[in-house]
Chains A and B, each alone.
Chain A
Amino acid sequence: MAKPLPKIGSRRNGRIGSRKNSRKIPKGVIHVQASFNNTIVTVTDVRGRVISWSSAGTCGFRGTRRGTPFAAQTAAGNAIRTVVDQGMQRAEVMIKGPGLGRDAALRAIRRSSILLSFVRDVTPMPHNGCRPPKKRRV
């Protein structure tokens, strides 16, 4: 799907593969994976190729604080900042998983200058397939 990376010549910027992504992308997709212990926000283009990502863990929170809604909103803000400079105006949001990051990240995206076109929930739902892990005994 992605073009194979050229070997030596494109190391100028210090980032491999960024030569192709420095074009303007007006519409993108923001994926938010919100688990109970962490929130990962990934910004991709419409086809699904990742532009930038950020998570509560990479924002400097560690341990139980990664699961908080404040961490989710800083992660979302971080991920969007790189992309707004590239000129993204509209985005579709795909939310996966339970967790407090769902709401907080959505509100952070709403607060920024990006226009939310759709909100979708893409939590993976088996049509009764694999056996889930055993019940926790706490």
Chain B
Amino acid sequence: MVAKQIQRELSDMLLTDKVLQYAVLPEAALGADRYLSSLTTISDVEVSADLQVVKVYVSVFGDDRGKEVAIAGLKSKAKYVRSELGRRMKLRLSPEIRFIEDESLERGSRVIAILDRIKASKENVLDEDDEFSESSDSPQDDRDWEGDDPDDIIYVK
């Protein structure tokens, strides 16, 4: 329950607090008018039994550079976040905050993408009634899939 409350407060801080936003997304400081290159979300919060240590799982959507920048920015602002949380919430002792990168959403998304592709290629096989196309589709799909990631999103500086 405390974890839920902390999650709400932290998400709110990520949305409204200028300092945190500049730490996560440095382009915002230049006035990028809300065109984002990466999106940071707090996916889970775990609190230790004595409420002293809080592990915050952060999921970042975007490319590798955006991920590194976001996580590094958050880790550098851990003390600031701790003081802000103490100010906003009524807790006896303000907890130590650790930011951990959360890969689970991305991994789940990759698994579902692979399953979708398998399903699609199976349907192709049933349609064409041809066994050879199935084995030749998957290696080519892998190459296409790896290649199309960097080009899709346009970054506005």
Q: Give A47-88 as 1s and 0s: 1 = Cβ < 8 Å from B's Cβ atoms.
A: 000000000000000000000010001000000000000000
Shortest C-beta distance, A33 to chain B (Å), equals 13
How far, in angstroms, from A108 to B109 measured CA to CA in the complex? 7
Question: Which residues of A have CB within 8 Å of B154?
Answer: 117-118
Q: How far is the CB of A106 from chain B (nearest CB, A)?
A: 5
Contact status of A123 and B35, CB under 8 A, knowing A103-B59, A111-B113 = no
Across the interface, do A103 and B39 meet the contact criterion of CB distance under 8 Å?
yes
Please, could you name 7 A-B residue pairs with CB atoms under 8 Å apart, sorted by A?
A98-B8, A98-B14, A103-B39, A103-B43, A118-B156, A119-B39, A121-B34
Q: Which of A89-138 contact B (CB under 8 A)?
A: 95, 98-100, 102-104, 106-108, 110-111, 115-123, 125, 136, 138
- What is the number of residues of chain A that contact chain B, defined by CB distance less than 8 Å? 27
Task: Determine the chain B residues whose CB is within 8 A of the CB of A120 once the complex forms.
Answer: 34-36
Interface centre among B5, B8, B106 (most CB of A within 10 A): B8
Specify which chain A residues have a CB less than 8 angstroms from the CB of B106 in the assembled complex: 107
Given contacts A103-B43, A107-B61, A121-B34, 16 further A-B contacts (CB under 8 A): A36-B11, A73-B109, A110-B109, A110-B152, A111-B112, A111-B113, A111-B116, A116-B152, A116-B153, A117-B153, A118-B35, A119-B37, A120-B34, A120-B36, A121-B36, A121-B39
Whether B105 contacts A103 by the Cβ 8 Å rule is: yes
How far does the alpha carbon of A108 sit from the alpha carbon of B11 in the complex, in Å? 21
Contact A138 B1 (CB under 8 A): yes
Q: Given B5, B16, B59, B156, which contacts A125 in the complex, CB threshold below 8 Å?
A: B16
- In whole angstroms, how far apart are the Cα atoms of A110 and B39 in the complex? 13
Q: How far is the CB of A59 from chain B (nearest CB, A)?
A: 15
Given that A103-B43, A115-B152, A117-B154 are known contacts, is A98 also in contact with B11, CB under 8 Å in the complex?
yes
The reply to whether A107 and B34 contact each other, CB–CB distance below 8 Å, is: no
Chain B, residues 9-24, CB within 8 Å of chain A (1/0): the string is: 0011011100000000
**Residues from chain A with Cβ under 8 Å of B124 in the complex:** none
A102–B34 touching, CB < 8 Å: no
Q: Is B41 an interface residue (CB 8 A)?
A: yes
- Give A115 to B34 CA distance when docked, in angstroms: 19
Contact of B153 among A103, A119, A125, A138 (CB under 8 A): A119
Q: How far is the CB of A138 from chain B (nearest CB, A)?
A: 6
Report whether B35 and A69 are in contact in the complex, using a CB–CB cutoff of 8 Å: no
In the complex, what residues of B have CB within 8 A of residue A118's CB? 35, 153-154, 156
